[in-house]
Amino acid sequence: MDVKSSELKKQVEQCTECEICFDYCPTFRVTKNRLFSPIGRLETAKIIFNNDDVSDEQVEAILNCPECGECEPVCPESIRISDIVATARVELAKSNKIPLNRQEKIMNGIIKTGNSVRGNPEARLNWLPEPYIEHESDTLFFAGCLPSFLVPQVATSSYMALKQAGIDFQILKEEGCCGIYFYDAGKRDLAEQEFRKNVERFKSLGIKRIIVACVGCYRCFKVYYPDILGSTDFEVLHVSEILAEQQYLSKIQKDPNEKAVTYHDPCRLGRKSGIYKAPRELLEARGMTIEELPRNQENGICCGAGAGIRSLYAGLSMDIAESLLNSTPEDEIVTSCSFCLFNLSQAAKKRGINKKIRFITEVIIEKNE
């Protein structure tokens, strides 16, 4: 066990079982299963770190945590529960205690087709609103697997918003995957291979700055790449961050038809990265009134999709999304994460909830261009 893991191992012992976190844990809120609460996960992590036997349900408790970190700001002991869960996954993966075919299929798909969502590589650029033209730039817009195949409005509107702002960038014809699925699955060796491959490619293209629309790609490039590789020599920006820079923000036209919306803080962009202001500034520049959720920013509510749970436990993931949808004050929700957009939209459709979910750049682009 490395230094970081041993620090986390000590934190496992610090839980006083005060249960303050229970109301803040989305998997506990919808299942009422103590095993799927922070306490249950800390107890399970302790067993895993001690190399003792774990049951299938305990393995599930580690895999069905979206690593949202909702429990962390309220924990009086400052226990880094989501990092502990991530470390427990690495230990489980090392000892081959993750018997999930679905996870294997997704990982094989990334290796064979370069994307995590079973998309046809030849259709990768179908989201592009104009013919692909090779263009050199030290800034790359990396669309991501989910926006490229499952929620193309994210990729298209981000591309258009960047163009309309006058930002110079290139895109990749064969983009590939950021590799976050390997990292989240605890397969750090496969993650390292994918990360190194991408870093080499970015280097050969002279990329100094990467703009992403997907919050998974954001966290992966910004946090997981340096975690595994030590450091990287490119800057990582979410599309909402760059568009909220003053010179671009001032170009956004107010739209008299836009009205009140609920803004949803994605866990990995909000609580985990501290980006709360930029997306709100974009909405306000467009003339929208923001109605906040009962909990927001650092205490923002998880949509239930992250860290691989949407692919493994879709029912639980959608139960969490449904409970979030039912707590939004407005019928229209804007989010800055493609995964939240996907999960919330699917839950609204499949559970018959009449709410519309849009991506941040869909709201601000000029549609008559």
Q: Alpha helices of 100-151 — where are they, by DSSP H?
A: 101-113, 145-149
Residue 75 or 283: which CB sits closer to ligand SF4?
A: 75
| Position among 75, 177, 207, 333 found at the interface with ligand SF4 (CB under 6 A) | 75
User: Between residue 176 and residue 195, which ones bind ligand SF4 under the rule CB under 6 A?
Assistant: none
CB of 266 to ligand SF4, least distance (A): 13
Query: What DSSP character marks residue 253?
Result: P
| Position among 12, 30, 35, 39 found at the interface with ligand SF4 (CB under 6 A) | 39
| Position among 2, 10, 17, 256 found at the interface with ligand SF4 (CB under 6 A) | 17
Residue 119 or 266: which CB sits closer to ligand SF4?
A: 266
Please give the helix or strand (H or E) that residue 141 lies within, else none.
strand 139-142
Q: Does 217 interact with ligand SF4 (rule: CB under 6 A)?
A: no
Q: Which of 164, 180, 310, 302 is nearest to 239 (CA)?
A: 164
| Position among 59, 79, 125, 154 found at the interface with ligand SF4 (CB under 6 A) | 79
Compute the distance between CA of residue 209 and CA of residue 138 in angstroms, rounded to an integer.
Answer: 6
Residue 106: CA count within 13 A, CB half-sphere: 21
Q: Which of 251, 192, 245, 197 is nearest to 369 (CA)?
A: 251
Residue 92 or 140: which CB sits closer to ligand SF4?
A: 92
Residue 40 or 152: which CB sits closer to ligand SF4?
A: 40
Q: Does 25 interact with ligand SF4 (rule: CB under 6 A)?
A: yes
- Residues contacting residue 145 through CB under 8 Å, at least 6 positions apart: 115, 116, 117, 119, 177, 178, 214
Q: Near ligand SF4 by CB under 6 A, which window of 77-85, 131-139, 321-329, 346-354?
A: 77-85
Q: Does 312 interact with ligand SF4 (rule: CB under 6 A)?
A: no
Q: Does 70 interact with ligand SF4 (rule: CB under 6 A)?
A: yes
Residue 76 or 129: which CB sits closer to ligand SF4?
A: 76
Residue 71 or 140: which CB sits closer to ligand SF4?
A: 71
Degrees to nearest 5, angle at CA 85 with 29 and 47: 105
The sign of the dihedral angle between the CA atoms of 153, 156, 158, 160 is negative
| Position among 30, 48, 71, 293 found at the interface with ligand SF4 (CB under 6 A) | 71
Angstrom distances, CA of residue 107 to CA of 101, 143, 311: 10, 19, 11
Q: Are 278 and 241 in contact, with CB atoms under 8 Å apart?
A: yes
Structure tokens at 324: 């979030």
Q: Are 115 and 177 in contact, with CB atoms under 8 Å apart?
A: yes
CB of 70 to ligand SF4, least distance (A): 4
User: Between residue 112 and residue 171, which ones bind ligand SF4 under the rule CB under 6 A?
Assistant: none
CB of 309 to ligand SF4, least distance (A): 9
Q: Does 16 interact with ligand SF4 (rule: CB under 6 A)?
A: yes
From the centroid of its chain, how far is CA 277?
Answer: 18
| Position among 1, 4, 13, 19 found at the interface with ligand SF4 (CB under 6 A) | 19
The DSSP result for 69-111, as a single string, is: -TTTTT-TT---HHHHHHHHHHHHHHTT----HHHHHHHHHHH
Structure tokens at 354: 């009449």
Q: Does 68 interact with ligand SF4 (rule: CB under 6 A)?
A: yes
Residue 165 or 305: which CB sits closer to ligand SF4?
A: 305
Q: Does 21 interact with ligand SF4 (rule: CB under 6 A)?
A: yes
| Position among 11, 58, 82, 115 found at the interface with ligand SF4 (CB under 6 A) | 82
Angstrom distances, CA of residue 36 to CA of 32, 61, 273, 340: 8, 5, 25, 21
Contacting positions for ligand SF4 (CB under 6 A):
15-21, 24-27, 38-39, 41, 65-71, 75-77, 79, 81-82, 85
